Chains A and B, each alone.
Chain A
Amino acid sequence: MIMEELFAKPDIRKPENIVYRKSDLMVDRPLSYCPGCGHGTVHRMLMEVIEEMDIAEQTIGVSPVGCSVLAYDFLNIDMLGAAHGRAPALATAIKRLWPHRFVFTYQGDGDLAAIGTAETIHACNRGENITIIFINNGIYGMTGGQMAPTTLPGMRSSTSPYGRDVELMGHPIKMTELIAHLPGVNFVTRQSVHTPVNARRTKKAIRKAFDIQKAKQGLSFIEVVSNCNSGWKMTPVQSNKWMEENMFPFYPLGDIKVDGKLVEKKENE
């Protein structure tokens, strides 16, 4: 008998007492992500919002190329898998052809901030009435830990094995701050999912983004700074700590643009 059973409370374990369970909009299959990876948590927050708004029938999602290439296998809504970086172009057409549908893209940093820079910036600049969810872990996870456009200065990766030398390799790009300056963009925020508080904030941000979409008020852009314990070569718990100490100072959490106006002082500082 496993230890958990020793402390089971059968009187409490009744359906009416459930206060939290995995969203029914998550397909019941194991996620392909590494242990501790933030993707799973963001997937779940996203599906919880769609479930709570009861809009699964009206939602069309676009998944990227990268670790979350198989997101469509886990999210029980209609999805399209885009070519690398092109998700905002797909989403643009989908939203314009189905203006009453909720449309989102789910993209990593390589997808959104390197190969898909043009599609991202122009979809944002046109003010497409969509939601972009941007997972930034500063590395190419799927292909084996290469340097990403968001890799921090000095950070090691398989293509910057001695650390990112900005003189040679260029600077990391803060896409989210860049996007915030575009007039078509309504809501821009940077969040994380590594603690319960942060995960709940991310969910709240996603809800806000979908509400903005419902009100046809323009594009919402949510960056989630996340970990890549495999790529960073740490345990999940270590990687979350490293993220707090190294990623957050460079990519500070908080709202950057709300109701179409830049936020002057960031909340979480």
Chain B
Amino acid sequence: MGELRLMKGNEAIAEAAIRAGCDGYFGYPITPQSEVMEYLMAEKPHERTGMVVLQAESEVASINMLYGGAGTGKKVMTSSSSPGISLMQEGISYMAGAELPAVVVNVVRGGPGLGTIQPSQADYFQAVKGGGHGDYKMIVYAPASVQEMSDHVKLAFDKAFQYRTPVMILSDGAIGQMMEKVELFDPIPRRTDEEVIAACPWASTGRPKTRNHNIITSLDLDPAGQEKVNLKLQEKYRMMEQNEVMYEEIMTGDAEYLFVAFGLSARICQKATDIARAKGIKVGLFRPITLFPFPTVQIAATGSRVKGILVVEMNAGQMIEDVRLSLGCKVKIEHFGRFGGIIPSPDEVVKALEQKIIGG
């Protein structure tokens, strides 16, 4: 069993980065995720593993530092919250285009604009539909616990390098701030420069006489060439859809109704499931863990067996579109959400199920 600690979600992200062999973290303070860099700075990862931690002048600089580091094959990460992630969209698009591996953590707060510093899930569209310009996707993980905050960092780095793509961890202010027990994974040593060069022959690490120069870019002025780039990216996204879907089902076996929720909302729905079942309502919970690739097939299978589905999100209705695309018009699908930083209570969720699905 790994080392057990009581940690904030944001701290777990930071500790996991060090343990995952991250080479560089570049970030800019923003509530509610500032503990990530605070923890890293206090922990002196440079002494522990040689990891670089740098406070940049903006989120724009942070994400472009990631682009630079990733372009040389190093394991790099940043974290921010909604307004900061909006600023990073340009850089994420460039990284998707240049096929660069990196991990971006969004500890979501309510919007739009400066919004609120309280938790929200209103960045779902931005994360899974391509928040920046151009046809791109990134793998998006939605942790629902401090444990998953840690586990997903390791997973995100693995997948970022496997597919040469930016990967996002879409968390929220509550999971970032809450403290829970977490079992930390054993540290993975940082790769040496020689190992990076061997593992990333595409990276711009300095051209030896034995090969042509490497160029990291997202530019191809020839439309035929750029179409080829797009086709290659789409092929990669299809591979992700085939191989990387993650989800969890709780009490769906005999369920007549279904909650579909991710992240914090899924935890609330888990409690709501218990309350509803105590009242005799046979409800289960489907929790997508990857938001892209979305568990379309699995939701369709489970969802087609029930009488109605309530999609619970801390937004005005975003993931519900993907649930509806998965099931078509076969089942009644409604949305329940609170937003602006309000976290719904389990009782509210049960009431919404009764009103919108069972009684509706």
- Taking Cβ atoms with an 8 Å cutoff, the residues of A that contact B are 27, 56-60, 62, 69-70, 72-73, 75-83, 86, 89-94, 96-98, 101, 118-119, 122
Contacts and interface: CB of A to CB of B under 8 A. Distances in A.
Contact of B72 (A59, A75, A94): A94
Nearest to B90: A83
Nearest to B24: A97
Given A93-B76, A94-B69, A118-B58, A78 B217 contact: no
Q: Residue among A59, A76, A90, A94 with the most chain B CB within 10 A? A: A90
A31 B328 CA distance: 55
A97 B72 contact: yes
Interface stretch (B145-153, B208-216, B293-301): B208-216
27 contacts: A58-B206, A60-B206, A73-B215, A78-B205, A78-B206, A79-B204, A79-B214, A80-B71, A81-B98, A82-B64, A83-B64, A83-B94, A86-B67, A89-B56, A89-B64, A90-B68, A91-B68, A93-B24, A93-B52, A93-B76, A96-B24, A118-B58, A118-B60, A118-B61, A119-B64, A122-B56, A122-B61
Contact of A78 (B62, B67, B74, B214): B214
B198 to A, nearest CB: 15
A35 to B, nearest CB: 20
B217 A80 contact: yes
B213 A92 contact: no
Nearest to B58: A118
Contacts of A83: 64, 67, 90-91, 94
Nearest to B205: A78
B248 interface: no
B322 interface: no
B23 interface: yes
Contacts of B74: 97-98
Q: Residue among B52, B60, B208, B215 with the most chain A CB within 10 A? A: B215
Contacts of B213: 27, 72, 75-79
Q: Residue among B24, B58, B68, B214 with the most chain A CB within 10 A? A: B68
A118 B87 CA distance: 14
B68 A92 contact: yes
Contacts of B215: 72-73, 78-81
